[in-house]
Amino acid sequence: MKTSHRALGAALAVLAMTALTSCGSGGEPAADGTVTLKFLVDNSQATVDTAKALTDAFMQANPTIKIETETRPGGSEGDNIVKTRLSTGDMSDVFWYNSGSLLQALNPSQTLVDLTGDPVLQHVQKDFLPVVTQAGKVYGVPAGTAMGGGILYNRKVYDKLGLKVPTTWDEFMANNEKIKAAGIAPVISTFKDTWTSQLFVLGDYYNVQAAVPNFAQDYTAGKAKFATTPAATAGFQHLADVHAKGYLNEGFGSATADQGMKLLVEGKGAHYPMLSAQVPPLVASMPQAATDLGFFGIPGTDPAKNGATVWEPAGVYIPKTTENLEAAKKFLAFVASPAAADAVNKAVQPAGPYRVEGAKLPDDAVQVAKDLQVYIDKGATAPALEFVSPVKGPSLEQITVAVGSGLTPPAEGAAQYDKDVEKQAKQLGLAGW
């Protein structure tokens, strides 16, 4: 997702370090025996807050290693800084960056330290490894937590109306009908923030993969299309369905994401296709969001295959140019450990489960994170398509707004997206296009 992967992904990725003393040049220990690592991170407040807890815990356990933080902007400006510093050999000893398809643009085989088989990965969940892997080589460890992309729902509305979490789309629509009859908006849409319109499509990828296991590979190769793959067209159909049934909130075309979350927390809307990362920031001003909001994956057609789409954490990587490889690996091993998760839990409310074996959510974690943990524990998740394919058309959010507003038929929207994707695939020089 364009905005979620970059802006929200940056807000989720929980690594930064507090600036401390510099060390001698050339990677040699300073006079007092300490080694200083430089760590490049994005400048989002969530990253900084979380990372301070990580820094304190890491340096308490490793007093001979100091960390000096460098920050960079998020978004495309930050992407360019990372690529430039890698290409010029000026990258910090360790750095935080996106996992998934954006990693490909860093040319990791030439620029990053190969961690395949390294002990730093011993606690990393195997399901995470594909999103930091290129050409069979593993290059990073997970920074922070995963987040779910699906349906946020008001649990009190469900309790009041005696509803159960749906495991099929038909059950979901039946719930919506009962909610509408109760005078509550069944589905919240916030098309003023156009990126939010994409969730019914992007959050449905678990169901696409369940129906067509090779979709990502064939899609990347130009062999599979949204418009000609029924399971992939379904996300566009979902957008059309909830609009056609009159299930959307009043003023959905001009509503913002913040307004949508407020409607949901207040119980004026029952469902919001959204990312779980939207919930933790609300807890300070609306404490009930922690317990009143739940999460479920966008339902498909087969209850036996019910699951959820996950936006994976970012990664922490080591450039080949580091002169402090041993210390850098020690840091990555800590980042991917239960001890790091414990440190983070004391400072920042996680938006989803960790991708580290043995790492646990705190008892007071928001309910949406606990709900997502259940999907992960039973192995019923798939990474969002953008983590397993570099092909993501830039116009999807405009297309989904049109489909979700009843202006474009779903089949036509899927075909428009296929054309949008083709342009990007050709720009990337992918084979088969």
Residue 105's pLDDT is: 81
**Are 141 and 151 found together in one domain?**
no
315 or 13, greater pLDDT: 315
Total number of domains constituting the chain: 2
Q: CA separation (Å) from 206 to 41, 167, 191, 213, 399?
A: 30, 13, 24, 10, 21
389 falls within a domain: yes
**Are 267 and 325 found together in one domain?**
no
376 falls within a domain: no
* The Cα angle at residue 421 between residues 405 and 424, in degrees rounded to 5: 130
pLDDT at 113 over 70: yes
Helices within 103-148 (DSSP H only): 108-111
Give the three-class secondary structure for 60: helix
For residue 87, the enclosing domain spans 2-145+313-360
* Beta bridge pairs of residue 314: 143
298 or 6, greater pLDDT: 298
10 falls within a domain: yes
176 falls within a domain: yes
pLDDT at 145 over 50: yes
**Are 269 and 409 found together in one domain?**
yes
75 — pLDDT class (breaks 50, 70, 90)? confident
Question: CB within 8 A of 209, min separation 6: which ones?
Answer: 215, 216, 382
pLDDT at 337 over 70: yes
**Are 94 and 157 found together in one domain?**
no
| Cα–Cα distance for residue pair 325/189, rounded to 1 Å | 48
Residue 25's pLDDT is: 36
Give the three-class secondary structure for 407: coil
Tracing tokens 């987040």 back to the chain, one arrives at: 147
Closest by CA position to 385, among listed 253, 218, 183, 175:
218
Helices within 131-198 (DSSP H only): 155-161, 169-181
Taking the CA atoms of 130, 134, 138 and 144 in sequence, report the sign of the dihedral they define: negative
27 — pLDDT class (breaks 50, 70, 90)? low
Mean of pLDDT values over 332-357: 93
Question: CB within 8 A of 181, min separation 6: which ones?
Answer: none
| Cα–Cα distance for residue pair 134/129, rounded to 1 Å | 10
Q: CA separation (Å) from 296 to 212, 337, 405?
A: 21, 27, 24
247 falls within a domain: yes
pLDDT at 2 over 60: no
**Are 127 and 141 found together in one domain?**
yes
Mean of pLDDT values over 300-315: 95
Dihedrals phi, psi of 268, to nearest 5 degrees: -85, -15
Amino acid at 358: G
| Cα–Cα distance for residue pair 257/285, rounded to 1 Å | 16
182 falls within a domain: yes
Mean of pLDDT values over 276-289: 93
Residue 250's pLDDT is: 97
Tracing tokens 């009859």 back to the chain, one arrives at: 181
**Are 91 and 131 found together in one domain?**
yes
302 falls within a domain: yes
Poorest-pLDDT segment among 108-122, 139-153, 247-261, 343-357: 343-357
Closest by CA position to 301, among listed 126, 171, 109:
171
Q: pTM (2 decimals)? A: 0.86
CATH of the domain at 23: 3.40.190.10
**Are 341 and 254 found together in one domain?**
no
pLDDT at 142 over 90: yes
Cβ–Cβ under 8 Å, residues 269 and 238:
no
Residue 45's pLDDT is: 66
409 — pLDDT class (breaks 50, 70, 90)? very high
Neighbour tally for 256: CB within 10 Å: 13
> Which of 360, 394, 418 corresponds to the end of one domain?
360
**Are 41 and 99 found together in one domain?**
yes
Dihedrals phi, psi of 308, to nearest 5 degrees: -145, 150
Residue-averaged pLDDT of the chain = 90
Mean of pLDDT values over 195-210: 97
Mean of pLDDT values over 203-220: 97
Residue 21's pLDDT is: 29
Mean of pLDDT values over 62-85: 91
115 falls within a domain: yes
**Are 271 and 417 found together in one domain?**
yes
**Are 139 and 160 found together in one domain?**
no
Mean of pLDDT values over 295-307: 97
**Are 125 and 158 found together in one domain?**
no
Mean of pLDDT values over 80-105: 93
**Are 289 and 168 found together in one domain?**
yes
